[in-house]
Chain A
Amino acid sequence: MTLRADGVTRAYGDEVVFRDVDLRVPQGEVVAIIGPSGVGKSTLLRLLGLFTPPDEGSVAVDGTDAWSLPTDDRLALRRRVGVVFQEASLFDASVARNVEYGLRVRRSWRERVHDELRALVGTTELPDTARDALDVVGLADYVDKPADSLSGGEAQRVAFARALAYDPDFLLLDEPTSDLDPRNTAVIEDAMTAAAERDIGVVVATHDMNQAQRVADRVAVLLDDSVIESGPADRVFENPRDERARKFIDGELVY
């Protein structure tokens, strides 16, 4: 199974962010999108996450062009993709309620009403997948804490667990370690590779070259307005074909 973008172009008004970008995300691999700030990494993740349609080109899951489908069918594709944004954006509720959100919206309305009533009397049981996801980011003890009492780094890890909890086929991460210290960065990086081993296709947008080198199986370099280099991580880092890509990777190209 793959998530792929074919020849996608995206503009905000007259400003073209990038054009004719191809990206293939197989399940079980970590794909890093690297590029300088403002180049359009977040914009590309929003396209892959089926938030907005591309101006040109297509985004497909398993060979199905998502934007050729009616909204309801697209929802089914969208629900196989987890997205974690740059800001943690937690809901004003407990960590548990945050982490089980994705599971909750997938339940029937009947179950959801029961759920809300149980939450009112305070007898909810966190589903195993949600508990495991919190465990992965090292926050198993935080279940009952209110989200607004967390530190920036803790919030970012809860946001990661929230997307992992419903076991998506693809996981899109936008600078997932920007607020983390080295130890917790390692926790999240391990979680990324562990997710890939569980056959999840992971995409991580980052401007941390070292992180890309540590976790990525494949790399796409986004520069100016297109992907100028992409391929297996080893090959791209050791032997980039594009001259600007080489300079960017070596830190010679300063933005």
Chain B
Amino acid sequence: MVAVLAALMPLADVVSTLVQAAAGPLFVEFPFERTYVLSIIYVSLYVSLSAVALSTLFSVPVALVVGFTDFPGKRLVKAAINTGMGFPSVVVGLVVLFAVSNQGPLGELNLVFTKEAMIMSQFVLATPPITGIALASVTGVQADVRDAAFALGGTRLDVALTVVKEARYGIATAVLAGFGRAISEVGSVLIVGGNIAGSDGVSKTRTLTTAVQLEARQGRYETALVLGAVLLVLVLAVNAVVVRLGDGGQMR
């Protein structure tokens, strides 16, 4: 995470230089602007990467089980995955907020307006697309390749690991798609995180998306632009990787 931030520092600087060139000095007007922007990037990446990592650990085994075993309610699970892909994020945020609120089942944990609550809601949002795409790619692995793994002395676990390896480009695409959804989502993180930044200008639960929304509403267009540009670069970079992977994984 520190390394990622270090890599992003020049990026934020370049973007702010460009904006300054176009709209006048920015960091001079707000002395803590740089800390502010960097802390927002940190919160965004921390929340989205954590949610996507957890979601991947959950989704890939689920995709394997749904793809290769039979159990009652399997069609229901598939329907849930498909419905979940288009689930409105504000509703997810609302449900998570109820869950972590004082009266909710997780009320004891005091998670209202925390990064952890944001990770929870983004986990819920990222899981359907990640599971759906992972499911399509693991079931795309030919039956005779699975048979070969078994024939060569593999256990069921070995066969599953082989399937994951064979489907690695599809699974990577799933993870990146989940990240794309998480990092650019506003509704649920606003509701469960509360868009909080401290008086010292350090973001607590403010992400790139919620910050852009706030800065734009308050008329601080330069800051909004810097934040928006960083978000755009992140999303474009992820998309570029997805397109590369879509080439049939020629990155070997």
Contacts and interface: CB of A to CB of B under 8 A. Distances in A.
B22 interface: no
A84 B252 CA distance: 27
B142 interface: yes
B158 interface: yes
Contacts of A159: 148
Interface stretch (B7-15, B98-106, B149-157, B214-222): B149-157
B78 to A, nearest CB: 25
A79 B158 CA distance: 13
Nearest to A45: B151
A130 to B, nearest CB: 12
Contacts of B158: 105
Interface stretch (A19-27, A86-94, A191-199, A212-220): A86-94
B148 A105 contact: no
A166 B166 contact: no
Given A89-B142, A105-B158, A82 B147 contact: no
Interface size bucket, A side? 20 to 34
A19 to B, nearest CB: 24
Given A89-B142, A89-B145, A91-B145, A101 B152 contact: yes
Interface size bucket, B side? 10 to 19
Interface in B113-169: 142, 144-145, 147-155, 158, 162, 165-166
Interface in A97-123: 101-102, 105-106
Contact of B151 (A49, A91, A93): A49
Interface string B163-194: 00110000000000000000000000000000
A51 B142 contact: no
A91 B165 contact: yes
Nearest to A75: B155
A166 B153 contact: yes
Contacts of A79: 153
B154 A87 contact: no
Contact of B147 (A89, A105, A163): A89
Contacts of B252: 146
A83 interface: yes
A166 B152 contact: yes
Nearest to A165: B152
A105 B151 contact: no
Interface string A152-179: 0000000100110010000000000000
Given A105-B154, A105-B155, A166-B153, A91 B147 contact: no
B145 A105 contact: no
Contacts of A75: 153, 155
Contact of A102 (B142, B147, B153, B166): B153
27 contacts: A51-B147, A51-B150, A75-B153, A79-B153, A82-B151, A82-B152, A83-B152, A84-B151, A85-B148, A85-B151, A87-B144, A89-B142, A89-B148, A90-B145, A91-B149, A91-B165, A91-B166, A92-B166, A101-B152, A102-B152, A105-B153, A105-B154, A105-B155, A146-B252, A159-B148, A162-B152, A166-B152
